[in-house]
Amino acid sequence: MAITLDQSLSVKMTLEEFFNYDDGTDAMYELEDGELIPMPAESERNQRIAMFILVYLVQLGISSSQLRMKTEIVTTGSRVRVPDLVVFSQELATAMEGAKRSTVMPEMPPPLLVVEVVSPNQSSRDYRYKRSEYAARGIAEYWIVDPIQERVTVLEWVEGFYEEKVYTGDSAIASPIFTELKLTAAQVLQCQSK
């Protein structure tokens, strides 16, 4: 049975229904407790920031098989998130080989890093809801890149919770996973490496 967007707003969807949902457009959706949530179109700046980080990670030597943009992650229960950028562990990259859909399922290893670039009117989702969901999923590192507040928040997963460090201006970002990282918050937000 096909579910339309109007129906999906009043009917709770299962994960299976979400994975089979097709409204005939290229629109992307997240799933929150069975509710289909349309994702707003990305701004040009947000896309540039995500692409800048992706290219920088490639230059650090991260394999393209470990890098994804707009990959779905089943976080908890019937919640599916679509972060701007994801770095897979080698084990997760292997588990994803041959997958028909770019979705990290609960039985798979968690990603190493998830990056969310904050969109207007979406900050509570990135700072509150996704933070707790990504921590529950065991994602080792979560970046919240906030072009509105001009800061980069790096969250490190420690014993089931995130410890937070906030970087602004010329503060050098410290990544617990990518220790060779040499970027400042300003470079990420302005998409310019030295």
Count of domains observed in the chain: 2
pLDDT of 119 reads: 84
pLDDT of 43 reads: 85
Q: Could you tell me if 15 and 58 lie in one domain?
A: no
Q: Could you tell me if 23 and 59 lie in one domain?
A: no
Q: Could you tell me if 46 and 21 lie in one domain?
A: no
pLDDT of 194 reads: 62
Q: Could you tell me if 77 and 171 lie in one domain?
A: yes
What is the reported pTM? Answer: 0.89
User: Alpha carbon 65 to chain centroid distance?
Assistant: 17
Q: Could you tell me if 35 and 122 lie in one domain?
A: no
Distance CA 141, CA 112 (A): 6
Q: Could you tell me if 94 and 11 lie in one domain?
A: no
Q: Could you tell me if 27 and 103 lie in one domain?
A: no
CATH number at residue 88: 3.90.1570.10
Q: Could you tell me if 13 and 62 lie in one domain?
A: no
**Tell me: the pLDDT tens digits for 76-112?**
878 999 999 999 999 999 999 988 899 999 999 999 9
Q: Could you tell me if 32 and 58 lie in one domain?
A: no
pLDDT of 2 reads: 46
pLDDT of 12 reads: 87
Q: Could you tell me if 91 and 161 lie in one domain?
A: yes
Q: Could you tell me if 76 and 135 lie in one domain?
A: yes
Q: Could you tell me if 25 and 120 lie in one domain?
A: no
Which residues in the chain come in under a pLDDT of 70? 1-10, 193-194
Q: Provide the residue range defining the domain that includes 54.
A: 41-190
pLDDT of 162 reads: 95
